[in-house]
Structure 1
């Protein structure tokens, strides 16, 4: 009788796993990620590694450090190029222009989207 329950438990576990996998088709591990972020005050680039995952791989942390060293100068250059493209497209000197003022975000959005009047004032 115990054997039947173990078989049923295994089938139930497989069904649960199949359901889980069907619901998470984009299940993925990101060992290394580069992100370019544009905010009203800046354009920045950051890299991050999944250290927990990479620590389990023989040489994984070494790979992470080497990859980061190889891409940091390239991404700094590419982020600068993106800033120049935005400058040309939207016609402002710097993305961070007046961003520290109280209405810096509003000025940035006005520049970015061509303004718009606030008729309530």
Structure 2
């Protein structure tokens, strides 16, 4: 497959958990993915539905290290420094992944000086 894939054009995209995975993919493999489009992404498991997260990540105070390590927020420093490589999309009516996830990510992106683009939908989930 050598030469069959143009790595300057590979983009990863996902919504909800797929948005979470696209963010992690760009953070962990910035040499493979040119850009990521993360829609309604889960960025911090502490902000997500407890019934889901407790089933898979545990509950109680011993869960904090697991939640923190698997959070996208923990990996912001690994996201690319070049503009045009990260697009965040979120609907304000999303009842599953609240906009607070995107807001928390943006706060950390700004602190780290990481570029991003944001598209917010006022009437969509």
TM-score when normalising by structure 2: 0.25
Query: Which one has the largest radius of gyration?
Result: 1
TM-score when normalising by structure 1: 0.25
Bigger helix share: 1
